[in-house]
Copies of this chain bind each other. A is one copy, B any other.
Amino acid sequence: MSENSLNKQTNKIQKRLQMQDIAKLAGVSTSTVSRALNGSSLVNEETRLRVTALAQSLNYSIDIGAQNLRLKNNKTVAVVIPFDSANPQHVSDPFFLTMLGHIADELSMLGHYMLVSRISADNLTAVLEPYESGRAIGIIVIGQWRYHEQLNAMVANKPIAVWGAKMPNQHYVSIGSDNLRGGYLATEHLIKQGRKRIAFFGNKDLPEVAQRYAGYLMAHQKYDLVADQQLSIPAPFSADTVSADIESLINQSISFDGLFACSDLIAMRAIGTLQKLKISVPEKVAVVGYDDIVLAAYFHPSITTIKQSIEVGAQSLVKALFNIINHEKISSEQLDVSLVVRESSIN
């Protein structure tokens, strides 16, 4: 212990082993070591085995900085999560986190690392920083993006894939579900159950939510119903205000018999609040959620939700990004993740 701390003070930190050292010990040149370690056919089999065994036994591992400097391929993809500087909330949204998990799965399956960074929305240029600095070979952006214009101006022809709504005239590849259709499906599901006054809980400032709302209106039109403006509540995905919003509706005697929640969190919170107010679900008010996060399945009673497969979304994002990186195809088309109305359950 004391020897240790002495070490720390007097000597430099124990020098990292490098190729030169391995080379010296193996009695070959560094070129040979490099080739051996990378399985080049230019090195004798016997030598290769000897060198790799030596390297292994000495616990040597290639310096990634140096390698990257030469090769410009660092096997790393950055996932950027923007946040509002106004309320720099934590990364706690289960949708984000689940997406993050699936992206991690997908990337590690492809032998890549995932670099996570959070950036403030008012420092948008930072989105590309991990790529520009050579930290990552590409960028995945998750999060409802409020600043489409700025993003659009910045990222043309860069290796970037965005989760979110398709916007008019967009210069980047985005993957997302068809929010218009999702909104339509959810609303139709409620209408088919005979609901006539359907509350919409979601913040229409977000493009994705706006599109869902359009679907909501479309369903109303299709079934000859009119949507009451008063029933549109700008609730954030995190559902913080939902209890108060519902109570407020009831206090104002604004009646409703259906509720379309733009996230499962909102749905869960709404159901909880309604039950607390002794309004039976689904008898008095039917609720449909959105996302189908894993936890929704554990909720009791089970909730009906618009399933957008986060796993498929993650896979598509990764695939799209690699396509761009490999120049296989550059398109600004949106890939759609299929949507299903379903009762959330564990399978």
Contact = CB atoms under 8 A, between A and B. Distances in A.
Interface string A63-76: 11110110010101
Interface string A312-347: 000000000000000100100000000000000010
Interface of A: 4-5, 8, 16, 59, 61-66, 68-69, 72, 74, 76, 81, 90-92, 94, 96-98, 100-102, 104-105, 108, 113-118, 125, 129-130, 132-135, 157, 239-240, 265, 268-269, 271-272, 275-276, 294-295, 298-300, 311, 327, 330, 346
A273 to B, nearest CB: 9
Contact of A65 (B69, B81, B240): B69
A62 B134 CA distance: 8
Q: Which 3 A-B pairs have the closest CB atoms?
A: A91-B101, A65-B68, A97-B97
Nearest to A272: B300
A101 B105 contact: no
A135 B66 CA distance: 11
Nearest to A69: B65
Q: Number of copies of this chain in the oligomer?
A: 2
A94 B295 contact: yes
A4 B327 CA distance: 11
Nearest to A99: B97
A8 B323 CA distance: 13
Contacts of A115: 76, 113-116
A66 B69 contact: yes
A21 B8 CA distance: 40
10 contacts: A4-B157, A64-B134, A90-B101, A91-B104, A94-B97, A114-B116, A268-B300, A272-B299, A272-B300, A276-B300
Given A64-B68, A275-B300, 11 more contacts: A4-B330, A63-B134, A92-B294, A97-B98, A97-B101, A100-B116, A104-B116, A239-B298, A271-B300, A272-B299, A272-B300
A242 to B, nearest CB: 10
Given A114-B116, A300-B272, A62 B94 contact: no
